[in-house]
C-alpha cells in the first residue's frame, strides 16, 4: 500500500545538495510518519536500498515583515543514507 502523503518533497539547500555526493539525501516528510514508513516509501518510490534514516523536527522561529510578526512552520525532515551504488536524481 503506497501512501503518497508521507514524502512531501526534497529539501533543496546548499548543505543537502552537497550530501548527495555521499549518498545522503534530505526530504520533508509528514510529521506523523515513522522511520520504517519513510524507508518503505523511499525504497518503493525510487527503487533504491536505504541503509539509515535520521529524522528531526524543526522548531518554529519568529519572523517579521514590516510591522507584522509571525512564526515559521514546523517541518519534519528525514535525512536518508543510501547503499553504495544507489542514487536519486533530484
**pLDDT at position 1:** 47
How many other CB atoms are there within 10 angstroms of residue 81's CB atom?
A: 15
Every domain of the chain and the residues it spans: 7-82
72-89 residue pLDDT tens: 999 999 999 999 988 887
Tens digit of each residue's pLDDT (9 = 90 or more) over 29-44: 999 999 999 999 999 9
pLDDT in tens, 15-70: 998 988 899 999 999 999 999 999 999 999 999 999 999 999 999 999 999 999 99
pLDDT at 88: 85
Domain covering 7-82, topology: Alpha-Beta Plaits (3.30.70)
Cα–Cα distance, 2 to 5 (Å, whole number): 9
Query: Cα 14 vs. chain centroid, distance in angstroms?
Result: 14
Amino acid at each position: 500500500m503506497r501512501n503518497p502523503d508521507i514524502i512531501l518533497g526534497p529539501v533543496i539547500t546548499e548543505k543537502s545538495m552537497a550530501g548527495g555526493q555521499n549518498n545522503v539525501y534530505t526530504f520533508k516528510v509528514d510529521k506523523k510518519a515513522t522511520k520504517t514508513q519513510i524507508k518503505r516509501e523511499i525504497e518503493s518510490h525510487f527503487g533504491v536500498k536505504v541503509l539509515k534514516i535520521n529524522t528531526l523536527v524543526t522548531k518554529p522561529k519568529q519572523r517579521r515583515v514590516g510591522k507584522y510578526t509571525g512564526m515559521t512552520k514546523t517541518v519534519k525532515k528525514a535525512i536518508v543514507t543510501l547503499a553504495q551504488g544507489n542514487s536519486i536524481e533530484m
